[in-house]
Amino acid sequence: MPVSKFSQSRSLPSAAAAKAALDILHDHGKLVHCQPLVGEVQQLNTSPDDSRIPDDEKSPKYDWWQQTEHVPILPFGIWKKKVVFNNWFKDFPGQPIQRGSVTVADGAAKAEVTDAGRSEGGVETICYAPSGIKIRAMFRVERRKADFAKGSIASRGKEANDAGESMGSDNEEWRLVEISEMECSNALILKFSERQHRSAHGKMLDNIVHEAKKRAYVPDATGPGIEN
């Protein structure tokens, strides 16, 4: 089955903003509404009726939601398609990040990373969408080595120190990271869906960072994201 893997990230300016971003990731209702295409949202008491869902994902430890998105089909919002899908969220704790492949809790998502650091925790999710689309995603807050940063982190460290916050050593920075894997038996649908997913989730990360900075009382001057 055709599979597409990709990741993207955004810079977080301080430890306080990183903590606020992690709180948003663990507030699944707030997290859902950070996605710009989402319209109606409903939290489900039980797992939905979908033959693709394995028995272990029907456990109460998975937080199930039903979402309605209005996906643009033509440019400039001329035509949008209403798409209803189900997905679950499951929080995971902090853990070291090793060079090489990364596996989140329950083995739900894997991806290659180029630096070592530490994940402060996050949330994983699997979405069961129409047309046989299945999306695994992981969102986490990381402390990374400075040699991975695209640009200086000295100014962000100064902002944190001025606010009385701890950024760790001068060769570390905070980032909000998404790692996604999408699969679909139809390669054309997969390509279109990946393009929409990348765009929508890029804006979603921007919204999370913006909200985190408001909660942490940090001026809104988000740096550029890094996409792989």
User: pLDDT tens track of the chain, all 228 residues?
Assistant: 889 999 999 999 988 999 999 999 999 999 999 998 888 899 999 999 999 999 999 999 999 999 998 877 655 455 577 889 999 999 998 877 654 444 444 444 444 444 456 788 999 999 999 889 999 999 999 987 665 444 433 333 333 333 333 444 445 789 999 999 999 999 999 998 898 889 999 999 999 999 999 998 866 544 444 444
CA distance 21 to 46: 27
CB 6 within 8 Å of CB 227: yes
Assigned domain for 129 exists? yes
Say what the pLDDT of residue 217 is: 81
Task: Tell me phi and psi for residue 118, to 5 degrees.
Answer: -140, 135
Say what the pLDDT of residue 78 is: 57
Assigned domain for 50 exists? no
Say what the pLDDT of residue 116 is: 55
Say what the pLDDT of residue 111 is: 47
Residues in the chain: 228
Assigned domain for 126 exists? yes
Assigned domain for 186 exists? yes
Task: Write the CA distances from 113 to 33, 140, 179, integer angstroms.
Answer: 28, 13, 10
Match 């039903």 to its residue by tokens.
Answer: 66
**Which residues span the domain enclosing 183?**
3-35+93-223
Task: Tell me phi and psi for residue 87, to 5 degrees.
Answer: -155, 160
Assigned domain for 16 exists? yes
Say what the pLDDT of residue 97 is: 62
CA distance 111 to 146: 21
CB 73 within 8 Å of CB 57: no
Assigned domain for 30 exists? yes
Assigned domain for 153 exists? yes
Assigned domain for 145 exists? yes
For the chain, the domain total comes to 1
pTM metric for this prediction: 0.76
| Distance, CA of 49 to chain centre | 25
